[in-house]
Amino acid sequence: MSTPEANTIQPKTSTLDMSNLLGRMSGSQTSAPFTVCLEAKNLNLYYGTTRALIDVNVQIPKQQVTAFIGPSGCGKSTLLRCFNRMNDLVDNCSIKGQVLLDNDDIYHQAVKVPLLRRRVGMVFQKPNPFPKSIFENVAYGLRTMGVKNKKILSESVERALNGAALWDEVKDRLDSNGLSLSGGQQQRLVIARAIALEPEVLLLDEPCSALDPIATAKIEELLVELKDRFTIVIVTHNMQQAARVSNFTAFMHLGEMVEFSDTTTLFTTPKSERTNDYITGRFG
Amino acid sequence: MKEWIKSGTPWIWSTAGGLAVALVMVFGVLWMTAARGLPYFWPSQVVETAFIEKDGSKIRLIGEIREREEVAVRRLVESGFTIPGNEKFTTRYLLKSGNRDVAGFDFKWYPAPLLSKFTYPDNVLTVERREWGNFYGHLKSVKENGVVVANGDFALPELQKRVERARKLFDEIFRIEKQEIGDVNFELEKLRLKERKLQLAGKLDEAANQSIQNQRLETNGRFAEIQSRLDKLRAEIGRDTLSAEVMDGKVVDVPLSKVSEVYRANSLNIGDKIGFYFRKLYAFGTEDPREANTEGGIFPAIFGTVMLVIMMSILVMPLGVIAAVYMREYAGHGMFIRVIRIAVNNLAGVPSIVYGVFGLGFFVYSLGGTIDQLFFSEALPAPTFGSPGILWSSLTLAILTLPVVIVSTEEGLARVPRSLREGSLALGATKAETLWRTVLPMASPAMMTGLILAIARAAGETAPLMLVGVVKLAPSLPLDGHFPYFHLERQFMHLGFHIYDVGFQSPNIEAARPLVYATAFLLVLVIVVLNLAAVSLRNKLRENYRVLEGI
Ligand SMILES: Nc1ncnc2c1ncn2[C@@H]1O[C@H](COP(=O)(O)OP(=O)(O)OP(=O)(O)O)[C@@H](O)[C@H]1O
Ligand SMILES: [Mg+2]
């Protein structure tokens, strides 16, 4: 836990001079100081007639940790779920605008959603392991891909559990039920389950809200490590957490993307009044 | 008072009271059927006494006391008895005197004041016969081809030896009749159908005809050979007779070919009795019925019931689960699906006989008739599937129990947390994969609950079966050694119908009454066993998918 500050330094310096170009009008910029992995362009989302996302423009940098903060109900989860089309499951939800993954529109009709979701993994607020063995939990995605070879499966499972810093704790009990783990272990199991598919992007929606500080610390440590292999987007209510783990931070309010910049800038010299009010605790 | 009501005490008392009533009723059912049915197999003492007839003459009675009850003396007087003394009530006994072929009756009520003292003579012989029910009497002699071979004290050991011999012969005859002749008949029928089929197809040429005739000749030859063997055995088994003095003093000959068991009930010790009891109980569960179902066992009925329920389960589960999955997972929330859901729920309330009528009209006549025309035309006009049978019965029961399976499965599906479905979808599983790999396994305990309810309803159902496949006596089981082993078109016996038949349709209701209770007890037992099997399966599944409580 002593390293996150150091981790955030590198992008900070590289984007310092460009930071004025980031922010709420980030969609207008022509080039970014980082490789863009995910991008939302004029994204509007309606639940029935209520507009939950309003002209959202944001670019998520590759192999960095990006945090979404904002008051409850501002649309963080909604935006996150747009990135792997989880909102397709919501009955009366309609979407206008574009979401680009490596410059391809993921809402294009030719896109195969299951394949997309393998590229963009997701971890939910509450750990939701399947009522299966630890091994089967991690192997679940691979099995749906049709992998049957025992050796490949067990290698991938071990790699994923190692990646989620859970291997040492469960290597002797891979056959026991995933639900027999503690909450923090379950959340790491779910992360292992997601990274077993080697996705490009990992979306995490308040992954630590159900965990105690020690488990939270473990997950945060993990995220910083995983950043080297994946692009990570995390929704959090905990501003310390955002400051600790993320390289970039986006502030949302009432469905709008108010400000997006590198983490230090956003927390030290926010451009928007609303951001300032929020991070100083005046609302939200 | 108000305080007391507020405290909730009366509420607790009334809930506990409700439970108590329910328990009393459940145990009442079990206790009554067990208490009245199970003692039937205990070897009863044989009473010897005398009775003063209405005309004043005194006759000897031998038999088993089957029941006693209090009656008003006035009623007895009205029916012509002269009862000494001036009591208002007295006892009367139901005596099973057996020997129906000799006396013309075997059960009769006698008022106690007209009976002399009961004695239990050691040497009274109880003879269980395969026809005409029990026989009671004092053994006089044993005869071989009409010549006395043993009498006096030597009669009983000799008799027991010869009864054993006759029983072995009987078993052999039974086996030959059932299996060998059954095989021959089966082959002859197959030949006939083959011939008819070729004829219908216009392919019955000289060569084919010749070969069929040859086969038929050969089979008929085998039949004649079996017949001659049988004749010999029948002559053998008819060799011995016993002669005994019955209650009115006559000496009667009983051929041993009809005897299944002889014993002196009054001189059995407790060990003998217990052995006897369990032998009888076992025979009841494993033997075929005899004597218009009033004697012998009920094995075919047990077998039919269990097979029916299993087939019903195999049919209803996939159907119900698929329907529920469609309604819960794929259909929208529109008017149409709402109407369907209401209809399904209401189907559960349709009287079962209506399903029977439907099964007869649709399955048996329409579906079965069509199948016959398409695939079994050579057997027409005799129907194959176009007549009631176990397949149609289990299908009818499957439809009858479909609503419970659908409703329970739907509830199970609804209880699978959304978070788990999303978890699966987020890993790139399609909706179908999510269903197969996560949702359905987790809903499986609920499906089992549906199955348990379905079994509970189906196993006891009798009325619709009378229309679509049950018979009072089925010549053969729906599962046997002849290809194709499962004979789904066959009629079958069923415990529920057996109870009805034995209790209310039999020529000898008094004799059959304990059997009604014993059969009822067994039916309950079968249902309990089937249910326990399903429950233990469900518990195992629950163990595996315990999450639901957690999330
Ligand atoms: N399925 C839905 N149907 C209708 N409205 C919804 C649905 N899901 C979310 N909303 C609405 O959309 C808005 C944004 O919700 P969202 O869940 O994205 O907020 P959030 O920022 O994640 O909040 P929190 O921090 O509390 O999780 C809210 O006003 C919410 O009421
Ligand atoms: Mg949220």
Q: Are strands A231-235 and B89-96 parallel, antiparallel or unpaired?
A: unpaired
Report residue B152's pLDDT band, with 50, 70 and 90 as the boundaries. confident
* Mean of pLDDT values over B428-443: 92
User: Amino acid letter at B409?
Assistant: T
* Mean of pLDDT values over B38-46: 88
Q: DSSP for A203-234, please give it.
A: EEESTTTTS-HHHHHHHHHHHHHHTTTSEEEE
Q: Where are the beta strands (DSSP E) in B184-308?
A: 240-245, 251-255, 259-263, 289-290, 295-296
Say if A74 falls within a structural domain: yes
Alpha carbon B30 to its chain centroid, in Å, reads 17
- SS3 letters across A233-247: EEECCCHHHHHHHCC
Alpha carbon B175 to its chain centroid, in Å, reads 22
A140/B427 CB distance under 8 A: yes
Give the angle B283-B289-B291 at the CA atoms, nearest 5°. 125
Does the pLDDT value for residue A13 go beyond 60? no
Which residues are B187's β-sheet partners? none
Atom of ligand 1 nearest to the CA of A68: 21
- Please tell me the pTM assigned to this model: 0.81
User: Amino acid letter at B95?
Assistant: L
* Mean of pLDDT values over A183-205: 92
**A195 → chain B, closest CA residue:** B427
Atom of ligand 1 nearest to the CA of A125: 27
pLDDT of residue A250: 94
pLDDT of residue B548: 47
Does the pLDDT value for residue B102 go beyond 50? yes
A47 touches ligand 1 (CB under 6 Å): yes
pLDDT of residue B200: 82
Distance A70 CA to ligand 2 centre (A): 10
The answer to whether the beta carbons of residues B542 and B137 sit under 8 Å apart is no
Distance CA A205, CA A140 (A): 21
Does the pLDDT value for residue B448 go beyond 60? yes
For residue A119 the two structure tokens come to 């590229």
Report residue B551's pLDDT band, with 50, 70 and 90 as the boundaries. very low
Closest C-alpha to B242, from B143, B127, B98: B143
> Strand, coil or helix: what is B145?
coil
Which residues are A53's β-sheet partners? A45
Contacts 24+ apart (CB under 8 A), B469-472: B469/B388, B469/B389, B469/B390, B469/B391, B469/B392, B469/B393, B470/B304, B470/B388, B470/B393, B470/B494, B470/B497, B471/B497, B472/B293, B472/B497, B472/B498, B472/B501, B472/B505
User: Amino acid letter at B367?
Assistant: L
For residue B420 the two structure tokens come to 């788990």
B172's enclosing H/E stretch is helix B155-175
pLDDT of residue B477: 82
Closest C-alpha to B492, from B377, B383, B391, B371: B391
Instruction: Return the CATH number at A209.
Output: 3.40.50.300
Say if A23 falls within a structural domain: no
Q: Which residues of A touch B (CB under 8 A)?
A: 84, 86, 89, 114-115, 117-118, 121-122, 124, 126, 128-131, 140-141, 143-145, 177, 179, 190, 193-194, 197
Task: Identify the burial level of A139 via C-beta atoms within 10 angstroms of its C-beta, where 0-12 means exposed, 13-18 middle and 19 or more buried.
Answer: buried
Q: Does B544 touch chain A (CB under 8 A)?
A: yes
pLDDT of residue A186: 92
Distance CA B252, CA B102 (A): 8
B423/A143 CB distance under 8 A: no
Say if A156 falls within a structural domain: no
* Mean of pLDDT values over B437-464: 90
Instruction: Between B512 and B169, name the one with better pLDDT.
Output: B169
Does the pLDDT value for residue A203 go beyond 90? yes
B60's enclosing H/E stretch is strand B58-72
Q: Is the ipTM of this complex over 0.90?
A: no
Distance CA A63, CA A36 (A): 9
CB atoms within 10 A of CB B449: 21
A75 touches ligand 1 (CB under 6 Å): yes
Does the pLDDT value for residue B12 go beyond 60? yes
* Mean of pLDDT values over A199-213: 88
B422/A86 CB distance under 8 A: yes
Measured between beta carbons, which residues in chain A are less than 8 angstroms from residue B426?
Answer: 84, 86, 117, 121-122, 124, 194
Mutate which: B424, B427, B435, B547, vs A, most A CBs within 10 A? B427
Q: Where are the beta strands (DSSP E) in B298-407?
A: none
pLDDT of residue A12: 37
Say if A88 falls within a structural domain: yes
A114/B426 CB distance under 8 A: no
Report residue A1's pLDDT band, with 50, 70 and 90 as the boundaries. very low
pLDDT of residue B513: 83
Does the pLDDT value for residue A9 go beyond 60? no
Q: Where are the beta strands (DSSP E) in A21-174?
A: 36-47, 50-61, 65-69, 93-101, 104-105, 120-123
Most confident of A8-22, B378-392, B401-415: B401-415
Report residue A283's pLDDT band, with 50, 70 and 90 as the boundaries. low
Place of tokens 């009818």: B396
Longest dimension (CA), chain B: 100
Say if A191 falls within a structural domain: no
Q: Which domain holds residue A110?
A: 34-126+201-279
Most confident of A214-218, B314-318, B442-446: B314-318
Handedness of CA A174, A180, A181, A187 (dihedral sign): positive
CA distance B337 to chain A (A): 17
pLDDT of residue A134: 94
What is each CA distance from A91 to A108, B164, B190, B427, B470, in whole angstroms?
19, 79, 61, 20, 50
**A87 → chain B, closest CA residue:** B422
Does the pLDDT value for residue A234 go beyond 50? yes
pLDDT of residue B421: 92
pLDDT digits (tens, 9 = 90+) for B257-293: 888 889 998 888 999 999 999 999 998 889 888 777 7
Say if A261 falls within a structural domain: yes
The answer to whether the beta carbons of residues B161 and B271 sit under 8 Å apart is no
Nearest to B427 among A89, A131, A193 (CB): A193
The answer to whether the beta carbons of residues A185 and A167 sit under 8 Å apart is no
Distance CA A72, CA A280 (A): 16
Closest C-alpha to B359, from B301, B303, B324, B315: B315
B546/A144 CB distance under 8 A: no
Q: What is the DSSP letter of A179?
A: G
pLDDT of residue B547: 55
A141/B544 CB distance under 8 A: no
For residue A54 the two structure tokens come to 């309003």
Q: List, in order, residues 6 or more apart from A21 with CB less than 8 Å away.
A: A29
Measured between beta carbons, which residues in chain A are less than 8 angstroms from residue B428?
Answer: 114-115, 117-118, 141, 144-145, 197
pLDDT of residue A18: 39
For residue B391 the two structure tokens come to 């397949």
When the pLDDT of each residue in chain A is averaged and rounded to a whole number, the result is 85
Distance CA A241, CA A67 (A): 9
Q: Does B277 touch chain A (CB under 8 A)?
A: no
> Strand, coil or helix: what is A38?
strand
Distance CA B265, CA A256 (A): 97
Pocket perturbation via mutation, ligand 1, pick of A47, A68, A93, A125 by most ligand atoms within 8 A of CB = A47
> Strand, coil or helix: what is B473?
coil
Task: Identify the burial level of A63 via C-beta atoms within 10 angstroms of its C-beta, where 0-12 means exposed, 13-18 middle and 19 or more buried.
Answer: middle
What is each CA distance from A150 to A118, A136, A162, B437, in whole angstroms?
21, 12, 18, 18
Q: DSSP for B379-446, please give it.
A: GTTS-SSSS--HHHHHHHHHHHHHHHHHHHHHHHHHHS-HHHHHHHHHTT--HHHHIIIIIHHHHHHH
pLDDT of residue B508: 74
Closest residue CA from atom 20 of ligand 1? A73
When the pLDDT of each residue in chain B is averaged and rounded to a whole number, the result is 87
Say if A210 falls within a structural domain: yes
B427/A130 CB distance under 8 A: no
pLDDT digits (tens, 9 = 90+) for A47-95: 999 999 999 999 999 999 999 999 999 999 999 999 999 998 888 899 9
A115/B544 CB distance under 8 A: no
Distance CA A80, CA A90 (A): 14
Report residue B409's pLDDT band, with 50, 70 and 90 as the boundaries. very high
Does the pLDDT value for residue B256 go beyond 60? yes
User: Amino acid letter at B407?
Assistant: V
For residue B493 the two structure tokens come to 């016996």
Distance CA A201, CA A81 (A): 12
Q: Does B345 touch chain A (CB under 8 A)?
A: no
Closest residue CA from atom 6 of ligand 1? A47
Q: Number of structural domains, chain A?
A: 1
The answer to whether the beta carbons of residues B396 and B352 sit under 8 Å apart is no
The answer to whether the beta carbons of residues A32 and A13 sit under 8 Å apart is no
Distance CA A95, CA B255 (A): 94
Place of tokens 């969609």: A27
Place of tokens 């980031």: A22
Say if A107 falls within a structural domain: yes
A197/B428 CB distance under 8 A: yes
Instruction: Between A63 and B479, name the one with better pLDDT.
Output: A63
Measured between beta carbons, which residues in chain B are less than 8 angstroms from residue A92?
Answer: none
Closest C-alpha to B47, from B127, B138, B119, B97: B119
Measured between beta carbons, which residues in chain B are less than 8 angstroms from residue A177?
Answer: 546
Closest C-alpha to B548, from B407, B415, B413, B410: B415
Share of chain B above pLDDT 70, in %: 99
pLDDT of residue A130: 92
**A136 → chain B, closest CA residue:** B437
* Mean of pLDDT values over B372-397: 84
pLDDT of residue B546: 66
* Mean of pLDDT values over B97-120: 86
Share of chain A above pLDDT 70, in %: 88
Nearest to A86 among B426, B433, B544 (CB): B426
* Mean of pLDDT values over A212-231: 87
Distance B422 CA to ligand 2 centre (A): 15
The answer to whether the beta carbons of residues A64 and A247 sit under 8 Å apart is yes
pLDDT of residue B345: 86
Most confident of A10-19, A28-37, B112-121: B112-121
pLDDT digits (tens, 9 = 90+) for B65-95: 888 889 998 888 888 888 887 888 889 998 8
